[in-house]
Every structure is written in C-alpha cells, then in structure tokens.
Amino acid sequence: MADELDRPTLSRCRRGDAQAFRALVERYQDRVYALCVALAGSDAEDLTQETFVRVHGAIGSFDDDGPAHLGAWILTIARRLCTDRARWRARRPTVALDVVALGDATPGADAQLERARQTRALRQAIAELPEDQRAVVALQVWDGLEYEEIAAIERVPVGTVRSRLARAKEALKRALGLDDEERNGTDR
C-alpha cells in the first residue's frame, strides 16, 4: 500500500506521542472516511473518529513486521466498526450516500456540472450495490489495497474478491450507461 506512515513516526505513536498520532490520523483519515462512507453513509464521520480512537488504544499491539501494512490494519478496524454499526442500524439498511460532501471542485462550469452529475450518479449507484461489493470497491479503488489484503479484511478467498469487484464494476457501468457505450464501440 502506497504512502504508509514512516517507522519513526509509528514508534513515536507507540510511545504516546500526540503529535505523531495526529500525523497518523491525517495520513489515513481520507481512506478510512471513504470506506466508512461506502459502508455506513451518514455515520462515516463518527465511525472515522471512532476508528482512530480504537487505533490509538491498539497501536501498541500492531506488528509492523507482520503481514498487514499499517493502512490495511487500520482499514480492518474501520471495516469491523462499520459492520457493527450496520448491524446496530439493521432497521435502516439504506445508506444515505448522497448526503456526504465530495472532494475538490473542478474548474470550468460545464465540466464541473457534468462531473458533479456523473459523480452523483456514481455515488447513487455505489450506494445501491450490495454491502460486500461496496466494501471491495472502496478498498480496492479508493484505498488502493491489493486483492490479498482485501481478502484478508473481508475474510474471503482472493477469487471471491475478484468476482465481487467484477460484479460491482459491471453494475456501476450499467448504472452509468457505460456498458452500452462499450457495446456500441465494440459493435462498431
């Protein structure tokens, strides 16, 4: 996983250095937040904060020579919290993905409008995916994890990760009308 926290900062985190832990939070907050948005919608901010509180309490037990990168370890914690929250909110299965603010604005009024429209459509499409597909999409595309890392977090074989991801992307293409374009291009 790219852009991992350096070892000295991690060591300082273990010793209780507040500045080092703040650096850790700022390093991973977007990835954690994206996963939480995909899985928990409007609870994402709360779950992101709670994830780092848990990380603070467990950082001493993280083995930086172990199989998981720090990022994957943190995302595992976030994933568990999202699952727990989803169970707790079992009566509210719909994820309100559209209330979450998105990222940077883009220059150019038309392009911005078009991008915003497409983004809203994509967010809506992701929200309508099954939870296990939302999770692999977020972990693979947004968080940049390898299939093996995703498989470890999701506790499924790598093949299952691949198939879930493939099904998710097909669904998203259909939702955005991209499969028609591809088909038409192929026909031509």
Binding positions for other proteins, rule: CB under 8 A: 18, 22, 25-26, 29-30, 32-34, 37, 44-45, 48-50, 52-53, 56, 100-104, 115, 118-119, 122-123, 126, 137, 141-142, 169, 172-173, 176, 178
Pick the closer one to other proteins by CB: 2 or 90. Answer: 2
Pinpoint the alpha helices (H) of 15-143. 18-40, 44-58, 70-88, 109-127, 131-137
Instruction: State the minimum distance, in angstroms, from the CB of residue 22 to other proteins.
Output: 5
Instruction: State the minimum distance, in angstroms, from the CB of residue 172 to other proteins.
Output: 6
Helices and strands per DSSP (H, E), number in the chain? 9, 0
With contact defined as beta carbons under 8 Å apart, do 37 and 125 qualify? no
Pick the closer one to other proteins by CB: 47 or 68. Answer: 47
Instruction: State the minimum distance, in angstroms, from the CB of residue 51 to other proteins.
Output: 9
Pick the closer one to other proteins by CB: 26 or 180. Answer: 26
Structure tokens at 53: 């509180």
With contact defined as beta carbons under 8 Å apart, do 69 and 4 qualify? yes
CA 1 from chain centre, in angstroms, equals 13
